[in-house]
Amino acid sequence: MGLKIKQRLLLSLGLFLLALCQVSVADERLHVVTTIKPLHSILAGLMVGTEGPELLLEEDATPFGYQLSEEQKSKLSKANMIVWVGPELEKFLIEPVENATKAGVSVLTLLDNPELKILPSRWSKDEDDSERDPFFWMDSRNTLILVDELSRALMDVDTGRAHLYKRNRDQLLSRVAELDRRLEYGYRGLKSGVGMAYFDTLQYFEQAYALKIRGVMAQSPEQPVDASQLLMSRVKLKEGYYACLLTERAMPMPEFPLLTEGVEINIGVLDSFGTDLPAGPELYFQLMQQNTDTIKKCLQYSGTATQVAAVEDELPLTAKIGGKFMLIDHNGKLVTEKDMLGKFQLIYFGYTFCPDICPTSLQVMSLSLDMLGEQASLFKPYFITVDPERDNAKVMKNYVQYFNKDLVGLTGTTAMVERVAKQFKVRYEKVIEEDTDPDMYIMDHSASVFLMAPNGEFITKFAHGISAKQMVESLKSYLPKQ
């Protein structure tokens, strides 16, 4: 056999083996395993035209209290890539992920991704607690980033089909961007009430679309509901502070009957894991639209909410009360809203030159604390002046000592007082009567006592004219049972 013929045969054999190798690689299945349906949906959209991702959890399951079956463990052992949220959500996957990482499997822990906007958990015990809120997909802007990050990961693992992932990424980004615009404009100008969420799944949605959720019962089904939190939430629901209660499908709520018994409230059922939707590329879009429609319908509840009336004004219990402020106490020390946390706060706005209403209200508030006995230690009374021109720290110090040893007088500059009064929806006006000394003006002002929770959240407002006995009975109803 001649040299040229041998060369041709070797070349042909080499090309055949190369082609065989390429077919083998192309035919090899890329095993991408993910945990929850929202992540599976995004991956399914990116992997259109391929074998697609595998969903680890059952269709109607949530990660809370979940345990892997032997079949699911086998599925994980065959994975080339594992995509999960992180240990805050899928506790059942912590050990399997560690083993997969040691075995060289590509693992994407999305809470660790620096490109995503990850919020700290609102249930962290202190500022140093690193627990993160896992529901990042509820902000569609996070999903835009997620599409980009997952497509890049797929292209790195499966370079032969990079063009396919890029095409799918571009199409998916366009759809998610359109969804984000629709959600943003859908909420803009929406006249809605304040909502309460049973589980803390909406922090990202709140921030992205200015959703008004002011109360949350529990972090997740894995944490028991605090008895005092249950009692306080029930009272606020009954008083009409919330227009809507949002629950989550497939997440057990053993305290729900106690929370809602005898309460007329609009209830919306969210499905943030998509448990009631068919898995696939459309699920994420259906989930977000369905949750959005549920929230809007729930918040636009037209039922009659109870209001606590004051003499001069009526403040809806759906109003947002409180916020960030700085004032100066009667000892000249700077005080912010954070310094007032830790105890229930009784807050009254008035002024020291007030002839009768202010002294009466402060006396009722002080007498109520005396009647509470040892339970009075759970409360802190404050008197905020609406007349900072005359009520400096020294004047306030001389004044508050006549009412209660724990009463704190608060003053400040005109701007500081205006800010805090606006946050509490307090109205006041200087009135100069004819033929009188301009310095002897009076202040026409709202005359109610605000009750704030130890975390700074508004609970209720007591109208001027309430008796000390009535106030005590009401205050006791907000305390945890002994």
pLDDT at 186 over 80: no
pLDDT at 439 over 90: no
Q: What one-letter code names the amino acid at 285?
A: F
**Architecture (CATH level 2) of domain 193-299:** 3-Layer(aba) Sandwich (3.40)
Q: Work out the mean pLDDT of the chain and round it to a whole number.
A: 84
C-alpha to C-alpha distance for 52 and 166, rounded to whole angstroms = 15
Q: Which residue has the higher pLDDT, 224 or 33?
A: 33
C-alpha to C-alpha distance for 252 and 247, rounded to whole angstroms = 10
Q: If you average pLDDT over residues 57-79, what whole number do you get?
A: 91
pLDDT at 261 over 50: yes
**Architecture (CATH level 2) of domain 311-477:** 3-Layer(aba) Sandwich (3.40)
Q: How confident is the model at residue 462 (pLDDT cuts 50, 70, 90)?
A: confident
Residues 6+ apart with CB under 8 A from 35: 55, 56, 57, 63, 83, 84, 85, 90, 93
- 16-30, 65-79, 333-347: least confidently modelled range: 16-30
Q: How many CB atoms lie within 10 A of CB 379?
A: 20
Structure tokens at 338: 């954070």
Residue 174 phi/psi, 5-degree rounding, is: -65, -40
- Is residue 373 left, alpha or beta, with left meaning phi > 0 and alpha meaning psi from -120 to 50? left
Share of the chain above pLDDT 70, in %: 86
C-alpha to C-alpha distance for 366 and 360, rounded to whole angstroms = 10
pLDDT at 194 over 90: no
pLDDT at 1 over 60: no
The pTM for the full model equals: 0.59
Q: Is the dihedral of CA 163, 165, 171, 174 positive or negative?
A: negative
The whole-number pLDDT of residue 143 equals 94
Residue range 375-412, pLDDT digits in tens: 999 999 999 999 999 999 999 999 998 888 899 999 99
Q: If you average pLDDT over residues 432-461, what whole number do you get?
A: 83
Q: If you average pLDDT over residues 416-428, what whole number do you get?
A: 91
The whole-number pLDDT of residue 448 equals 86
Selecting from 3.40.50.1980, 3.40.50.620, 1.10.760.10, 3.30.1360.30, what CATH number does the domain 26-184 have? Answer: 3.40.50.1980
Q: How confident is the model at residue 14 (pLDDT cuts 50, 70, 90)?
A: very low
The whole-number pLDDT of residue 481 equals 65
- Residues shown for the chain: 482
Q: Which helix (H) or strand (E) holds 73?
A: helix 70-77
Q: Where are the beta strands (DSSP E) in 172-231?
A: 195-199, 213-218
Share of the chain above pLDDT 90, in %: 55
pLDDT at 368 over 80: yes
Q: If you average pLDDT over residues 44-62, what whole number do you get?
A: 93
pLDDT at 129 over 70: no
pLDDT at 346 over 50: yes
- 291-295, 320-324, 344-348: least confidently modelled range: 320-324
pLDDT at 451 over 90: yes
Q: How confident is the model at residue 72 (pLDDT cuts 50, 70, 90)?
A: very high
The whole-number pLDDT of residue 321 equals 86
C-alpha to C-alpha distance for 83 and 97, rounded to whole angstroms = 10
pLDDT at 110 over 90: yes
DSSP 309-365: E-SS-EE-TTS------EEEETTS-EEEGGGGTTSEEEEEEE-TT-SSHHHHHHHHH
C-alpha to C-alpha distance for 54 and 62, rounded to whole angstroms = 16
C-alpha to C-alpha distance for 416 and 326, rounded to whole angstroms = 7
Q: What one-letter code names the amino acid at 209?
A: Y
C-alpha to C-alpha distance for 81 and 106, rounded to whole angstroms = 5
Helices 283-299/162-187 angle, 10° precision: 10
Q: How confident is the model at residue 127 (pLDDT cuts 50, 70, 90)?
A: low
C-alpha to C-alpha distance for 458 and 411, rounded to whole angstroms = 21
Q: How confident is the model at residue 192 (pLDDT cuts 50, 70, 90)?
A: low
Helices 162-187/140-157 angle, 10° precision: 180
The whole-number pLDDT of residue 357 equals 81
The whole-number pLDDT of residue 25 equals 37
Q: If you average pLDDT over residues 295-299, what whole number do you get?
A: 85
C-alpha to C-alpha distance for 276 and 270, rounded to whole angstroms = 10
Q: If you average pLDDT over residues 307-312, what whole number do you get?
A: 28
Q: What one-letter code names the amino acid at 22?
A: Q
The whole-number pLDDT of residue 211 equals 76
Distances (CA, A) of 291 to 118, 218, 280, 286, 296: 21, 19, 17, 8, 9
Residue range 235-249, pLDDT digits in tens: 888 888 888 899 999
Question: Do residues 36 and 63 lie in contact, with contact meaning Cβ atoms separated by under 8 Å?
Answer: yes
Q: If you average pLDDT over residues 70-90, what whole number do you get?
A: 94
pLDDT at 318 over 90: no
The whole-number pLDDT of residue 315 equals 44
C-alpha to C-alpha distance for 225 and 254, rounded to whole angstroms = 9
SS3 assignment, position 329: strand
Residues 6+ apart with CB under 8 A from 394: 330
Q: Which residue has the higher pLDDT, 319 or 437?
A: 437
Q: How confident is the model at residue 149 (pLDDT cuts 50, 70, 90)?
A: very high
pLDDT at 312 over 50: no
Residue 234 CA, distance from chain mean position: 19
What does the CA dihedral 232, 233, 238, 243 come to, rounded to 10 degrees?
Answer: 140
The whole-number pLDDT of residue 291 equals 93
